[in-house]
Structure 1
Amino acid sequence: MKSKFGIFGIAGRAVLVVALAGLALACSRQKLSFDDLRQRYMDQATGGASVDLTDSIILKRFAAQDEGVQKEWETMNKAADRTYLWNDRSCIDDSLSPWRPTSVTTPIGRLAHMAQAYATPASKFYKNDSLKKDVIDGMEWMYANKYSPEHPAYGNWWDWIIGMPYSMNRIIASLYDELTPEQRAKYIEAIDFYAPGVEYEGAATGANKVWQCYSMIVRGILAQDEAKIKMGVDGLGTEFKYVDTGDGFYEDGSFVQHGWIPYTGGYGNGMLADLTTISSLLHGSQWQLPEQYSDMLGSWVENAYLPLVYKGAFMDMARGREITRVTDHSTGRSILMSAYKVAKIAKPEVRDRVMGIVKYNILADTLCDFVATAVPTELIPEVRAFLADSTIAAVDPAPYYKQFAMMDREVFAAPRFALGLALSSSRIQNYETLDSENKGAWHTGDGMTYIYNGDLAQYGDDYWYTVNRYRLPGITVDAQQTHKVQNYEFGKGVLYVDGYKSPHAWVGGASLADCGMAGMWFKDELSTLEAKKSWLMAGEEVVALGAGINSSDNRTIETIVDTRKLSPGKPYSVLVEGREVLAACGETAPVVASWAYLQGPDASYSVGYYFPDKAPVKLLRETRKGRSIEVTKYGDEAERVRDYVSVWFDHGKNPKNATYCYVLLPGATAEQTRAYAEKNSVTVLANTPQAQAATIPGVGVTGVNFWEAGQVPALQGDAGQGTISSSAPASVIVRSKGGELEVGVSDPTQLQKEPVTVGLPMSVSAVSVGNPDVEVVSMSPLTLKVKVDGGMGRTRVVKFKQ
């Protein structure tokens, strides 16, 4: 099938005709003056002189900015003999956050806010001489007492190399004509002292590198120094490439930062935002980014970012520790805005695809006003016109399946829902806790399943402050172990934390355009618990299998089928085979049933559960409380209260080769769930420590995870009853539909050097779409020899006529 995405490993197609006036910038280069570029930089920051002062959103935005500046100005210490600029703790000393030089970073940041207000035509402080004087006096005090070549850097490198230079650039640009040449020169000299280049040791990769380059480019514009601009532009070359280890973008769309953390929606968000800003800032100038950079930005947007966006939310599983800082929809809106800006200067076929998907996500996100919360002031009229233009169709990209093998993440987007699967391995860390953020995230990379449906606020409405961290959906967990809530601070020599990585490499799977088979050989961080876990995702269902569940710590082991936060103020009920249970908070005894159902206000909020083995399950409805300050330094003491429903298998203490099997049916009605269970709509072919396999006959898809060489029984094939076999550990997915057979094979271990031979009990007549890494050894029964060496976990797909 075809996808609306251009480079998901399947053919894309242009679906839009973009007719937005001014959408594409001129491609010709011209020699722009430093003053021209400085004015463009300030227009990006302030909205420029042509901003519409009758626009209610713009008026509200600048009123909020002015309110903050008013407070900062009023509380500023203006005494001639002052020893500080503000008397709150973060400005007087650095004790609030060990190793953070907040007494330097915070005052400079506040002076930047005030300076920008002075330079903003729509601000009530525009060209306010008193404000100007106080900002310049404040800068002189900072230079004399805190920030100059006479004051060595200390504490966290980020503040000196990235944070402070950003604020200093904004101050100098905003007050450029008000500062003396000597003042401009010494402030730029101070920035140079702390951040002389773009290659800070240990942090010159990914977003950190891009931030350094952007800062240097702006510094070059302000200093009227071509060499600095060139240093910044040339420095980007190390990031406009694909990597095969460590930080950066991988060819499969994965983005890793801090060595082992999936961070597309964290550092990757900031990186994309700055790259698009740099591109816009320099576009058409003599320093315009090379065309291949713009092409790669388009590829990243399509292949790395948009597959992780669902109705405006960017999936938490690729946001690192930022899940406790900002919501998924806040990140999603930022990325959609960046994607829009990339599309404006992309090739027509990329532009059309991206614009359609961006528009769909903006319109589908009903939680807030995109224009009011995400669009830069200068682009508000343009984006409004884009959203109102009926000739630009909003395009839902589903259905699709996207495998991010190099960051252990899987996305399954079905018509009614999307599911994100967060795994970890010997290559990818299971979570990051750092700088007083994301505390208690111990199991977020242990096979957590994120269901995205009509409840758009499921993960953004205090979820991480109130959820039971030992009952995250999808995980198999030592329910009684105790983790210490640890925190790691940035400090001398601390750039990030080398945390827990599993000893097992078998993590990943095989995928086709809109379905996939994933697996994880799980080993718990603090206990003896191990398990083989698999997921077959196709059609409108997710089949979950568990085997080889072993533990010897004399503590209870659980597999969490699901934990859902109940949207406040909306009606919910819990059904077991049609009978309502848990009308109020409480826990059921083990229930033997073939299906259960969480019924929300409508089917889009609801989830069906099918249990093929009728194994006993437990259900819980509870009210949970929490405070954001308990998990992030950006939180507060206010108590949050949310209701949850959990469904799980209790494997007991010290299980030996325990198993589980369940099917998730998000978006199904109760009647559809009942009918699905009565029809036995899934066939489990194997669920052992050696192999896990299932077939969904309704969509003709079979998935097999071979944890070792072996074979599993297959449904009747046209070459006779037989088996599916593999000569080595592998993941295999097969679809038979309409006279065509598709087969996908991968090596999730990413370690094997020799080809993998896969046998299937069916016959084919011809190869319709070949693959250079797949040799057809036999057509009846079908036997394939698949080269996996160097494949980095990707799926080799071949198609046949039956």
Structure 2
Amino acid sequence: MNRLSCIVIFLSLSFTLFSRTSISSNPDMGVIRDRITDGLLGSGVNDHHIKELMRGLNSEGCWSEINYEDLSRTAFENSKHTSRLVMLSRAWRNPASSFYKNKELLEKIEAALAFWVKNDFICENWWNNEIGTPNDLANTLLLVGDELPKDLVHKTRPIVGRAHLEADGARPSGDRIKIADIYARNLLFFEDEKRFGEVVKVIENEIKFETGRGMQHDYSFHHRDDRVNNTLSYGLQFADVFAVWADYVANTGYSFSEEKIQILVDYYLDGICKMMAFGKYPDLGAKNRSISRSGALRAMGTSTPEKLLKVTDYRSKELQEIISVRSENAKSTGIYSKFFCLSEYSSHQRPAYFSSVRMYSKRNCNMEVPYNGEGLLNHYLGDGANYVYVDGTEYYDIFPVFDWQKIPGTTILQKPELIPEKDIQKWGLTTFVGSAADGRYNVSAFDFVSPHDKTKAKKSWFFFDDEYVCLGSGISSDENYPVVTTLNQTHLKGDVVVNENDKKTIPEQGERRLSSVQWIYHNGIAYFFPKPATVDLGNQPQRGSWSGINRQAGISTQEVSREIFKLWINHGTHPQNETYEYVVIPGVPTRSLDKRVKNIQVETIKNSNEIQAVRHKKLNIVQAVFYQPGTLKITHKLSLSTENPCIIILEYDKDVPVKITVSDPNRYLESLSFSLSAKVQSRPDMSSDWDEEKGVSRLTVKLPAGIYAGESKVIRL
């Protein structure tokens, strides 16, 4: 007898030992059930669709167009049956529907549920057995269970009961809280007051920081031990379930503590929302295999922030702005620059644009495994991907036609074909991966060595207010294929304008190589080359299909065509120590671009294998990446020398340093030592030793340690 069968028998026996406690003896449970039921009813019912579903249900209680035979993890159309049960039950329970309390509809629901119970379909994918099916059946019982034959309800109970806290899928992560959610609704329907209270407490206590699976101390989320960033998938479900239950139990004896609610609000605003363009559109850089499903980058709704606002005043203005941005198309006022140290992901937001960088190291895997046949071409999505948004829809559903070896921001070997999907996930090969971030600006760096083919590059991104700089050095490969750095690949929206040899043109659709290019403009974003460059440009249709990236049953095999803008630099075959340098200027109109470029405020100080550094002349900021100890001249009188590999942001006033932000991307050091050619006083967490003869202050900064290793230390001088 297998484990699943044992669990079913155990649950069936244990359930019969408990007599149902009347909800009337605990008014709070009645209040909570009413709230859940009201939520399940939704905003309306499509009566025409309900009529079609009723007509299509045959005498056996099933729908002939559903394939009930294929129980594989890439198929299981059976889930359509249980989701239709919920739709029918909503219509029966909703006073706004013409089928409200309809006798024939209730008979159809009973027949469809009896068919499922009789066959008890088990999928090869545990998720359907412990989450998908129990979730639908629990909702069906809450909506119409009181009207169904007791014997049928009794037979349904063990199937719903597969969602329990000892289930295989209930491991600490986003799935555990969802399973607890289903379990609690099941116990609520069967009026098991004692265990209901225990499970609600489990849901509340899941809001905690973890060092393994779960919510990380930097407000990112890891679902598995591969340490892949799952904040906008499992981590989003994690927040949604908690917010739903915080609302369900508010002002009852089961209310969540303010402490837990505030942790969730912080996670939602400082984690989830900071991985979304303008707090509204999920960033492609924080997504994994789900992008192989249509609509994966659609604008987010307002349900979760609205529920949080109902249960707390904490950070209410920020929650309200998120709601306004999502529901009223209000303009985001967000200004931040954040590095998620534990997931090696950077995000940078300004009112006019959003940008991100995704990286990985020996500490994290590059990408999620293509579970269940999804994300079949995601090989390079973690390889320094850099996306930029001015409206939020730049990459929406681009994926069937995507050129998967030209991921924006990456430096990739162009192979004739990709390796098998089973080899997509790899641990990184380097440790120098990180960022210095002070909350407003950040510089991120990636000592990149491809785990797929050993292509090498030193890659860095320098983020400011109106632009950011992208540098690459040491680009090398021994393979007999060209290596390409892609600036962007996005939907083609309007004309492309090229400034080549001081001559502006609007090229016809096609693909071409351009030389002596000063800048290229497309869809509100300029790509400026401080040194005129040779680049490749595509502005033409690309073709593909959803089935090319997703093997799930029912995925469309139809070829689709979309017009794509694609810009890249070809470093040639067998490149050795090649470089690139470009500036991305988002949110600038073409009419002011020449003036903007002429007065560009950023300049590259160094772009070598040892140091990559950029100065912002107006802000008086230098951002620098030291792959090795070295010296950098900041101004005529001010210089910086480091004793360790590190990343630094230095702000100065004339020749006087005023603020410094440092980090150790290798995460080896307890303290970081460097010298400035200026007299600097000691500060808390920083000692200063002034050498009068050399005119140099030797500074030693105590760095964040433990789970915070790799995070930035900000010191005002």
Could you say if the C-alpha distance between residues 35 and 546 of structure 1 is closer, same or farther in structure 2, counting changes exceeding 3 Å? same
Question: Does 2:360 match 1:441?
Answer: no
CA drift at 1:212: 0.7
8 A Cα contact 1:406 1:792, kept in partner: no
Distance in 2 (alpha carbons) for counterparts of 1:563 and 1:577: 24
Identity across matched positions, percent: 21
Alignment partner, residue 508 of structure 2: 584
Question: Does 2:643 match 1:666?
Answer: no
Q: Deviations over 1:513-558 (max 9, x none)?
A: 2111001111223212111101111121111111111100121111
Match of 2:662 among 737, 745, 750: 745
Could you say if the C-alpha distance between residues 303 and 730 of structure 1 is closer, same or farther in structure 2, counting changes exceeding 3 Å? same
Give the 3-state SS of the residue equivalent to 1:106 in structure 2: helix
Could you say if the C-alpha distance between residues 191 and 642 of structure 1 is closer, same or farther in structure 2, counting changes exceeding 3 Å? closer
- 1:345-356 to structure 2, matched below 5 A, reads 345-348=311-314, 350-356=315-321
Match of 1:73 among 54, 63, 69: 54
Structure 1-normalised TM-score?
0.80
Match of 1:140 among 102, 114, 130: 114
Could you say if the C-alpha distance between residues 575 and 225 of structure 1 is closer, same or farther in structure 2, counting changes exceeding 3 Å? same
Alignment partner, residue 289 of structure 2: 321
How many pairs does the alignment contain? 682
Match of 2:674 among 745, 750, 758: 758
Alignment partner, residue 163 of structure 1: 132
Alignment partner, residue 785 of structure 1: 700
Alignment partner, residue 372 of structure 1: none
CA drift at 1:140: 2.4
Give the 3-state SS of the residue equivalent to 2:289 in structure 1: helix
Could you say if the C-alpha distance between residues 498 and 233 of structure 1 is closer, same or farther in structure 2, counting changes exceeding 3 Å? farther
Match of 1:305 among 254, 272, 297: 272
Match of 1:208 among 175, 186, 193: 175
Give the 3-state SS of the residue equivalent to 1:616 in structure 2: strand
Give the 3-state SS of the residue equivalent to 1:589 in structure 2: strand
Question: Does 2:323 match 1:358?
Answer: yes
8 A Cα contact 1:685 1:712, kept in partner: no
Alignment partner, residue 597 of structure 1: 520
Could you say if the C-alpha distance between residues 326 and 785 of structure 1 is closer, same or farther in structure 2, counting changes exceeding 3 Å? farther
Could you say if the C-alpha distance between residues 575 and 337 of structure 1 is closer, same or farther in structure 2, counting changes exceeding 3 Å? farther
Q: Deviations over 1:449-508 (max 9, x none)?
A: 111103x42111x3112221122221101123520453x7xxxxxxxx992121112211
Could you say if the C-alpha distance between residues 321 and 313 of structure 1 is closer, same or farther in structure 2, counting changes exceeding 3 Å? same
Distance in 2 (alpha carbons) for counterparts of 1:207 and 1:408: 20
CA drift at 1:290: 2.4
Could you say if the C-alpha distance between residues 636 and 102 of structure 1 is closer, same or farther in structure 2, counting changes exceeding 3 Å? closer
Structure 2 residue identity aligned to 1:557: V
8 A Cα contact 1:207 1:268, kept in partner: yes
CA drift at 1:782: 4.3
Alignment partner, residue 29 of structure 2: 34
8 A Cα contact 2:352 2:390, kept in partner: yes
Could you say if the C-alpha distance between residues 188 and 755 of structure 1 is closer, same or farther in structure 2, counting changes exceeding 3 Å? same
8 A Cα contact 1:627 1:635, kept in partner: no
Distance in 2 (alpha carbons) for counterparts of 1:538 and 1:526: 33
Distance in 2 (alpha carbons) for counterparts of 1:795 and 1:320: 27
8 A Cα contact 1:629 1:636, kept in partner: yes
Alignment partner, residue 5 of structure 1: none
8 A Cα contact 1:693 1:712, kept in partner: no
Question: Does 2:28 match 1:62?
Answer: no
Question: Does 2:497 match 1:561?
Answer: no
Match of 1:222 among 173, 189, 194: 189
Distance in 2 (alpha carbons) for counterparts of 1:571 and 1:459: 17
8 A Cα contact 1:757 1:784, kept in partner: yes
Alignment partner, residue 178 of structure 1: 147
Q: Higher mean Cα deviation, 497-506 or 775-784?
A: 775-784
Structure 2 residue identity aligned to 1:608: A
- 1:393-404 to structure 2, matched below 5 A, reads 396-404=332-340
Distance in 1 (alpha carbons) for counterparts of 2:75 and 2:489: 37
Alignment partner, residue 235 of structure 1: 202
8 A Cα contact 2:489 2:566, kept in partner: yes
- 1:361-376 to structure 2, matched below 5 A, reads 361-364=326-329
Alignment partner, residue 248 of structure 1: 214
Q: Deviations over 1:246-284 (max 9, x none)?
A: 322222221222332212221222222221111111112
Could you say if the C-alpha distance between residues 612 and 266 of structure 1 is closer, same or farther in structure 2, counting changes exceeding 3 Å? same
Distance in 2 (alpha carbons) for counterparts of 1:699 and 1:314: 30
Q: Higher mean Cα deviation, 776-785 or 246-255?
A: 776-785
- 1:182-201 to structure 2, matched below 5 A, reads 182-192=151-161, 194-195=162-163, 197-201=164-168
Q: Deviations over 1:28-47 (max 9, x none)?
A: xx953433322221111115
Match of 1:341 among 300, 307, 314: 307
Question: Does 2:666 match 1:775?
Answer: no
Could you say if the C-alpha distance between residues 607 and 660 of structure 1 is closer, same or farther in structure 2, counting changes exceeding 3 Å? same
Alignment partner, residue 50 of structure 1: none
Structure 2-normalised TM-score?
0.89
8 A Cα contact 2:432 2:627, kept in partner: yes
In structure 2, runs of 5+ residues without a counterpart are 1-24
Q: Higher mean Cα deviation, 306-315 or 523-532?
A: 306-315
Structure 2 residue identity aligned to 1:68: H
Distance in 2 (alpha carbons) for counterparts of 1:626 and 1:598: 26
Distance in 1 (alpha carbons) for counterparts of 2:221 and 2:488: 27
Distance in 1 (alpha carbons) for counterparts of 2:53 and 2:33: 26
Give the 3-state SS of the residue equivalent to 1:588 in structure 2: strand
Structure 2 residue identity aligned to 1:278: W
Alignment partner, residue 109 of structure 1: 83
Distance in 1 (alpha carbons) for counterparts of 2:617 and 2:53: 65
Distance in 1 (alpha carbons) for counterparts of 2:123 and 2:296: 33
Distance in 2 (alpha carbons) for counterparts of 1:755 and 1:644: 47
8 A Cα contact 1:665 1:673, kept in partner: no
Alignment partner, residue 441 of structure 2: 515
CA drift at 1:163: 1.0
Distance in 2 (alpha carbons) for counterparts of 1:206 and 1:458: 31
Give the 3-state SS of the residue equivalent to 2:580 in structure 1: strand
Give the 3-state SS of the residue equivalent to 2:85 in structure 1: helix
Alignment partner, residue 261 of structure 1: 228
Structure 1 residue identity aligned to 2:687: E
Give the 3-state SS of the residue equivalent to 2:109 in structure 1: helix
Distance in 1 (alpha carbons) for counterparts of 2:383 and 2:565: 20
Alignment partner, residue 46 of structure 1: 41
Distance in 1 (alpha carbons) for counterparts of 2:66 and 2:111: 21
Distance in 2 (alpha carbons) for counterparts of 1:67 and 1:773: 68
Q: Higher mean Cα deviation, 668-677 or 426-435?
A: 668-677
Give the 3-state SS of the residue equivalent to 1:262 in structure 2: coil
| Over 6 Å off, 4+ runs | none
CA drift at 1:744: 0.8
Structure 1 residue identity aligned to 2:139: R
Larger RCO (CA under 8 A, 6+ residues apart): 1
Distance in 2 (alpha carbons) for counterparts of 1:586 and 1:471: 17
8 A Cα contact 1:582 1:588, kept in partner: no
CA drift at 1:784: 2.8
- 1:388-467 to structure 2, matched below 5 A, reads 396-432=332-368, 433-454=370-391, 456-460=392-396, 462-467=397-402
Give the 3-state SS of the residue equivalent to 1:419 in structure 2: strand
CA drift at 1:329: 5.2
CA drift at 1:582: 5.6
